[in-house]
Amino acid sequence: MIQTKFSASRISELLAGGTGKTAQSYILDLAMQSIGLKDELNTPALKHGIQNQLAGFEAVVKPLFPNAEWHDEFILINEFCGASPDILDSGNPMDIKCPFYIDSYLDQINKPPTKYYQQVQMQMLACKADVGHLIFYLTKPEEWGQETEVIEYPFPLELRFKIFEFKKDEEIQEKILEKVMESEPKKIQMIELLNSALVISEEQFFYEQMSGYAYRKLGECNNVLNLDKVIRVNDKFYYGKTK
C-alpha cells in the first residue's frame, strides 16, 4: 500500500463546512491513491500554472528576494500530513500562482482565495515559519498550435504580479492539524472498503443494470463510510442504489 499524506494544496477541502461532501471527496481520492489508483488531472489551466511557476520565480521573486530558492519538495509536518512550498526564502515558504485568465488574476489579486491562504498557513506549519508569501503572476498562455515564441501581454511586469505576506495564524494551523487527525481514520476505513470490493466484469455490470439494478459511482455517495460493500469494475468503484 502506498503511504499517502494530506497536503497543503487541498487542505481547504478538509476545512470546508457544509455537508462534508468536499472533505469526503478528498479523503476518497487519497484512499484511491493509497491502493495505486490516481486520476491524472491535465487541464489547460493546471498545465499553464505548472509550466510558468518557475518563470514567475525568476522574473518576480528572485529580484525582490535574493535569498529565495526554488524548493517544490514535500516537508513532513507529522506522519499524516505535510506541504510542498514552491519557494523557500530563509526558511519561509512562498507559493506562486499563475492564473490562466486575466479576469481570474484580477479577482485573485483583489481578494486572495481562502484556499490559498490556508495552503500557505499549512506550508508555514511545515516550515515552522512565522511568515509566508503568496505570489500571483500573470503570463500569457500559449495558444494552440503556436510554433513561434509566445508574445507576452502588453502590460508592464509590475502590473502582472502581486505579492501577499501572511503572518502565522495559530487558529487556522490548529484547525488544520485537528482536521487531519479526524480524517486519517476515515482514510484508513475507506482504504479497507476499497480493498474489500467485489470485483465484477463489465458484462455483469452491464446486464445487472439492464435487469433493473442500479450502480452509482462511489464518489457520488453522500457518505461512503456508511457503506458496507462496494463493487469494482476494472479501476472504477461503484455502490448499489435502488432505482
Q: Write the burial class of residue 103 (CB in 10 Å: 0-12 exposed, 13-18 middle, 19+ buried).
A: exposed
Please tell me whether residues 236 and 170 are part of one structural domain. no
Residue 104 belongs to some domain of the structure: yes
Residues 213 and 118 in one domain: no
Q: Do the domain assignments include residue 184?
A: no
Global pTM reads 0.91
61 assigned to some structural domain: yes
Alpha-carbon distance of 123 to 65, in angstroms, equals: 18
Question: ∠100-106-110 over CA atoms, to 5°?
Answer: 135
Query: What pLDDT is attached to residue 242?
Result: 56
pLDDT one-digit tens code per residue, 88-109: 999 999 999 999 999 999 999 9
Total domains, the chain: 2
Q: Are residues 160 and 237 in the same domain?
A: no
Residue 57: domain span:
6-143+150-177
Specify whether 26 is located in the same domain as 138: yes
Q: Residue 223: its pLDDT value, please?
A: 93
Quote the CA–CA distance of 133 and 162 in Å, as a whole number.
10
Predicted pLDDT of residue 19: 65
Q: Are residues 44 and 160 in the same domain?
A: yes
* Residue 102 domain flag: yes
